[in-house]
């Protein structure tokens, strides 16, 4: 029988070592490789990107095979790598530009697996949270010993965070660290699919000439728009549905939405991975529309961690396509909120029907 826990009562403590050990591709991309990426013959840029990334990994001494985590301890004791700057043979950074649904995260994770350690892989938000947890200088001092830093879903919707990340990347590049990034391509409107490379290069300013842009063309399967969220269940049947649909689950979290969000305001977002690390199924009672921007942004981080772990969600209350206010869904952070609604909808569908859908 599954153990029931309450996330609203947890206050996880995470060391610097534990934070950094989490900087690797998520469960969904834990075993991908260049070989498992199947290029579309109709879009030659996909095969070209694979080959270029293979070369980029090889320039660091990579073998093209799966790599270890290469985390904090190897960064400290593995010896500082030789700087590859000034060689002229390879750029310092790679930027994957393309619409969503073309496999940019798959390619970025494949590069991470193929490259030698020490190395880090995380989303833009995870790196900004890392700086918040450790301080900017300590983050630089640790990551500058790495050979490769991969930044998925680089976001330009917060000027302060963009300047922070541009500065971080500049200091890492000066230390000889190779960089690779994708952009957050969720559209400003559902009819748009590309996040222009020119915007990325403008915002990272002095680093722009060090990045080689790889175009990854392809069909954008999300142009359909957001899928409708499943109807919420009755509150009294949540636990029964969770245990029936997932009889092998060992740990089920059971919280009122208001209690969970209250706890999120007390726990630093860098600890959310630890908060949910052992959860197999999430049960949420009385979901409500979030009306405060600060809480909405914290829930975005939680949703990403749940999605990384593929945690099914069983919920009552408001449907997840109404999780954020209309003003939020049309405001400056709309890309984050569209992503969260899409991901939570997928997890709720899995939790309440047993069906799964793509990222």
pLDDT tens for the 359 residues of the chain, in order? 889 999 999 999 888 888 888 899 988 898 999 999 999 899 999 999 999 999 999 999 876 543 444 443 333 333 344 444 444 456 789 999 887 678 899 999 999 999 999 999 999 889 998 998 899 999 999 999 999 999 998 876 667 788 888 889 999 999 999 999 988 654 333 334 444 566 666 666 666 777 888 888 886 544 445 567 788 999 999 999 999 999 999 999 999 999 999 999 999 998 999 999 999 999 999 999 999 999 999 999 999 999 989 999 999 999 999 999 999 998 878 888 988 998 899 999 999 987 655 44
pTM for this predicted structure: 0.75
Query: Coil, strand, or helix at residue 328?
Result: helix
**Residues 6+ positions from 183 with CB-CB distance below 8 Å:** 95, 97, 153, 154, 155, 156, 195, 197, 199, 200
Please enumerate, as own/partner, the contacts of 321-324 that have beta carbons within 8 Å and a separation of 24 or more: 321/226, 321/228, 321/229, 321/345, 322/229, 322/289, 323/287, 323/289, 323/290, 323/299, 324/289, 324/290, 324/296
Sheet holding 313-317, edge to edge: 3-5, 251-256, 281-287, 313-317
**Domain locations in the chain as residue ranges:** 3-13+226-353, 31-222
Q: What is the pLDDT of residues 213-234, one digit of tens each?
A: 888 888 654 444 556 778 899 9
Q: Which two tokens stand for residue 311?
A: 């945690």
**Residues 6+ positions from 104 with CB-CB distance below 8 Å:** 96, 98, 152, 182, 185, 216
> What is the C-alpha R_g of the chain?
20
Q: What is the pLDDT of residues 254-289, one digit of tens each?
A: 999 999 999 999 999 989 999 999 999 999 999 999
The CATH homologous superfamily for domain 31-222 is P-loop containing nucleotide triphosphate hydrolases (3.40.50.300)
**Residues 6+ positions from 275 with CB-CB distance below 8 Å:** 7, 10, 12, 267, 302, 305
């Amino acid at each position: 029988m599954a153990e029931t826990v309450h996330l609203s009562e947890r206050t996880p403590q995470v060391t610097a070592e534990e934070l950094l050990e989490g900087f690797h591709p998520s469960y969904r991309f834990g075993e991908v490789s260049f070989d498992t990426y199947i290029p579309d013959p109709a879009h030659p840029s996909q095969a070209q990107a694979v080959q270029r990334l293979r070369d980029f990994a090889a320039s660091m001494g990579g073998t093209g095979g799966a790599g270890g985590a290469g985390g904090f301890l190897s960064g400290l004791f593995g010896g500082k790598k030789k700087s590859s700057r000034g060689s002229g043979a390879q750029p310092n950074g790679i930027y994957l530009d393309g619409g969503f649904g073309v496999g940019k995260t798959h390619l970025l994770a494949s590069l991470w697996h193929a490259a030698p350690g020490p190395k880090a892989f995380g989303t833009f938000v995870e790196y900004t949270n890392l700086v918040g947890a450790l301080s900017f200088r300590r983050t630089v001092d640790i990551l500058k010993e790495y050979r490769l830093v991969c930044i998925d879903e680089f976001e330009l919707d917060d000027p302060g965070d963009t300047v922070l990340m541009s500065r971080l990347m500049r200091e890492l590049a000066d230390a000889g660290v190779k960089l690779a990034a994708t952009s957050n391509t969720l559209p400003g409107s559902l009819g748009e699919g590309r996040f222009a490379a020119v915007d990325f290069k403008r915002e990272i300013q002095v680093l722009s000439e060090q990045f080689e842009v790889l175009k990854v063309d392809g069909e954008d399967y999300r142009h359909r728009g957001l899928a409708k969220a499943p109807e919420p269940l009755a509150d009294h049947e949540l636990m029964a549905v969770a245990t029936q649909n997932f009889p092998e689950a060992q740990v089920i979290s059971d919280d009122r939405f208001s209690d969970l969000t209250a706890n999120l305001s007390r726990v630093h977002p860098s600890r959310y991975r630890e908060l949910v690390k052992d959860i197999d199924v999430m049960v949420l009672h009385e979901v409500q529309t979030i009306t405060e921007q600060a809480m909405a942004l914290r829930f975005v981080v939680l949703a990403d961690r749940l999605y990384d772990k593929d945690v099914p969600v069983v919920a009552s209350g408001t449907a997840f396509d109404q999780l954020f206010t209309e003003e939020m869904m049309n405001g400056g952070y709309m890309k984050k909120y569209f992503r969260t609604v899409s991901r939570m909808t997928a997890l709720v569908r899995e939790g309440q029907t047993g069906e799964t859908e793509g990222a």
